[in-house]
Amino acid sequence: MEKYTLIITEKPSAAQRIAQALDQKGKPTKVEEKNVPYFLAKRDKPLVVVSALGHLYTVVHVGKGRNYYPVFNFKWAPRYLAEKSAGQSRLWIEVVSKLADNAEEFIDACDYDIEGSLIGYCLLRYACENKQDVAKRMRFSTLTKKELEKAYSEPLPKLDFGLIEAGRTRHEVDWLYGINISRALTLAAKRWSGKYATLSSGRVQGPTLKFLVDREKSIRSFVPTPYWSIGATVDIEGTTYEAEYEKTTLKRRADAEAVVKTCKGKAGKIETIEKNRTQQKPPIPFDLGALQTEAYSLFRYTPRKTSSIAERLYLGALISYPRTSSQKLPSVIDYKAILKGLSKERAYKRLASELLKVDELKPREGAKEDPAHPAVYPTGNLPERSLSNPEKRIWDLVARRFMAVFGEPAVKQSIKATLNVNEHRFHLRGRRVLKEGWMEFYKPYVRTEEVLLPPLKEGEIIQLKKVLCEDKFTKPLPRYNPSSLLRKMEEDGIGTKATRADTIETLYNRKYIAEERMVVTDLGFDIIDVLHRYCPGVISVELTRELEEKMERIQTGSEEREKVLFEAVEGLKPMLEELKQSEAVIGEVLSNAIKRSRIHERLVGECPTCHTGKLMVLYSRKTRKRFIGCTNYFKHLCQTSFPLPQRGTVKPLHKPCKGCGWPTLIVKTKGRRPWTLCFNEDCPKKEERRKRLEMQMLQQRGKK
């Protein structure tokens, strides 16, 4: 085979799209070797486009055994040597190495960020035998044909070694923290109890869990304080309107009751009417964090799910690269070309056409800038395949946000009428949108609620319809949810835009937290307690933020990788010594926490028969089949039991059935959507379902 240029991408779908864009006929030849796909294309010269499969190389321990710490010796090696589940990576590396043998030029076309740069560098250095110094770099923010052709014809002359060094350092420091702290915790529990359970913490995971523990402690220790408020309504021409009392809170019940007594059944006079017009500027473009926050608010998608969907849309050339912290849209992306593309979609035709009439389009932008990529925007391409509902939603959200940033400010009017009732003042408030402006483009995602008041005049007499005193209590701060925790991590400089969602997911997987409104488990509390006592640096926000800043300095060349690694090791040594000296105490604490956590996972609710035991997911000693039984079952004190599906996984929801109030479980079976199980045979909902099915069967028979 003649010599060719080898182009390395991050994922197979990106390889296919790049090959199609660069092939002069748009029809590259797909080849599979050892189930690894690559593409042959022809342009000014022969091209071979092959992908990585994410990270094919990782940091591994130099040494034998896993049952000891500290470990500070490491090297970069193929993932299949470190992870049993990464066996496929061996074939991938073998194919890339073979293709590199006959290549005369090398181009890195992985995503242009820290992770993508590191993936390309590792393949070029290890699989291609030190081609990292001669390789060129394609830089692009979308996988559109036009941008890919430009990136190929105008490549960067060399790799971005600042990004690469920052990426290497981040992985190495995270490995040093993660393997040592996780081994210390896991081994302490195993040596005390004799049972293995995966425990972990690290440079980002520790401070993130501490945020949650601190909030949980403040909630549990919060002492509600009573206060009183006045609720009132007025009658205007037969219609009831809410009226706010001038003081939102009253600290004494007597004061509140005195207001009710003075005003009840009375009429008041309108003293003043204030009207205000305000302009609401358009929203700013999405960075990844803002997109994740908005998707959670609108669709309840976790940050990780949103990131995954956005990645698929990027690989489908529908949106720009999503892992960006930029809130800016440079004019070089060609706003009008994107709008012309969107106008071919019926849902956007009218809106895009309106913007295309504007002589000069100027987006409203935010302050944050990312040197690698602009804010997230639609490419103007239309889907080449049928999108799933989640993909449609995120694409629609990005497209409408892009159009909204070019809109005019919205104009809103607020009205406050002050009603004097025996020298007590109540406020009637109205609000409405006078001019939609950008809001027209961002429907249906605009959050605005109009309250229309009837025409009012100063001096007008209005009758109070109802006045009452409401007993209330102060409330603690709410628990974090995935979206608000992500924002907290961003604000405090913890983690990166690419890793924060995965960190949150890990906390769930380790059973440190549970539920959407994040409740910290006993295990989560004990992990933070141990770390706080013996190695507080691991949960220090300041230390983690300082390390993040050092990574950025490595990227700009003002900090050396070796120095950061040395400081990380020196900082870890005393922490690990503390953990080792207190291993027995730590092991007992963590083992008991793990035991409680496992019991809680199987706990369903109170036994409805004996009322002294608890219903749990149990396993038969004879058949090993699972069932719901009372904890008194094996003591022969209670025979209450219920059958369970034997396939898939079952997990108590700790929520009552809406039909009967019994506990419920969620059942997850491969190839089927998760479903909620109420095991009460007499549940009214089950009876309704039976009748509905019988009715459907009768209707079908009638048709026949």
| Active centre residues (catalytic) | 321
For residue 389, what are the contacts with CB-CB under 8 A and spacing of at least 6?
none
Q: Which two tokens stand for residue 178?
A: 């993660």
Query: Cα 145 vs. chain centroid, distance in angstroms?
Result: 30
Using alpha carbons, select from 641, 647, 648, 679 the residue that is nearest to residue 661.
679
Rounded CA-CA distance 476/497 in Å is 29
Rounded CA-CA distance 293/212 in Å is 18
Query: What is the SS3 string spanning 129-195?
Result: CCCCCCCEECCCCCCCHHHHHHHHHCCECCCCHHHHHHHHHHHHHHHHHHHHHHHHHHHHHHHHHCC
Rg of the chain taking only CA atoms, in angstroms: 31
Query: What is the SS3 string spanning 130-144?
Result: CCCCCCEECCCCCCC
Q: What is the maximum span of the chain, computed from C-alpha positions, in angstroms?
A: 97
Rounded CA-CA distance 517/43 in Å is 54
Rounded CA-CA distance 642/650 in Å is 13
Are 615 and 663 a contacting pair, CB within 8 Å?
yes
Are 181 and 517 a contacting pair, CB within 8 Å?
no
- Strand partners of residue 58: 77
- Give me the helix-helix angle, 12-22 and 303-315, nearest 10°: 30
Are 616 and 604 a contacting pair, CB within 8 Å?
yes
Using alpha carbons, select from 184, 645, 199, 245 the residue that is nearest to residue 428.
245
User: What Å distances lie between residue 176 and 184, 202, 566, CA to CA?
Assistant: 12, 9, 11
Are 345 and 400 a contacting pair, CB within 8 Å?
no
Nearest 5°: the CA angle 513, 517, 519 is: 35
Q: Side by side, which strands form the sheet with 614-619?
A: 603-606, 614-619, 626-630, 641-643
For residue 403, what are the contacts with CB-CB under 8 A and spacing of at least 6?
339, 342, 348, 351, 352, 355, 441, 442
Residue reference for tokens 């395949």? 385
Among left, alpha and beta (phi > 0; psi -120 to 50; other), residue 270 is: beta
Rounded CA-CA distance 500/440 in Å is 33
Using alpha carbons, select from 663, 655, 658 the residue that is nearest to residue 684.
658
Rounded CA-CA distance 551/571 in Å is 17
Identity (one letter) of the amino acid at 395?
A: W
Give the pairing of strands 626-630 and 649-656: unpaired
- Strand partners of residue 39: 30, 49
Rounded CA-CA distance 461/270 in Å is 7
